[in-house]
Amino acid sequence: MKQYVIDQLREGDFLKLEEYLDSNSEAGELPGIYWIPMPEQLFDKLQREHEDCQPFYFAVNLDRQSISFELLIRTRNRLRCGCIQYASQKQRDYILDYADGLFEELNLMT
């Protein structure tokens, strides 16, 4: 799995991230998993065509030591589909900017 990982979180950083994600994202079925919507303007051609699969998300996995931002763009409507694919350059930039902006907004270690 391709992902952007930030490890060696401090306890206070973990708690701030958890509080933020609990309040500002959709929680997954498993603890520590969050779904962040991908903006529609960043959908590729196939994702735009697959209206039944929309919306699209990337997953964030938070544990006490690390946070990872998956670079797989997926739908929650289906397990397998051609529109579930690794992030395009624009989508990858969005995910990395989201991650870095989250740390900046919460004034966390860098």
Predicted pLDDT at 110: 52
Phi and psi dihedrals of 30, rounded to 5?
-95, 145
Q: Is residue 95 part of a domain?
A: yes
Q: Is residue 94 part of a domain?
A: yes
Report the number of secondary-structure helices (H) and strands (E) in the chain. Answer: 3, 7
List the CATH number of the domain containing 20. 3.30.530
Task: Look up the domain containing 46 and give its range.
Answer: 3-105
Q: Is residue 110 part of a domain?
A: no
pLDDT per residue over 41-100, tens digit each?
999 999 999 999 999 999 999 999 999 999 999 998 878 898 999 999 999 999 999 999
Beta bridge partners of 73: 85
d(CA 89, CA 47) in angstroms, rounded, equals 15
Calculate ∠ Cα 62-1-87, nearest 5°: 90
Domains in the chain, number? 1
Q: Is residue 57 part of a domain?
A: yes
Instruction: Tally the residues of the chain.
Output: 110
Predicted pLDDT at 6: 95
Q: Is residue 21 part of a domain?
A: yes
Q: Is residue 13 part of a domain?
A: yes
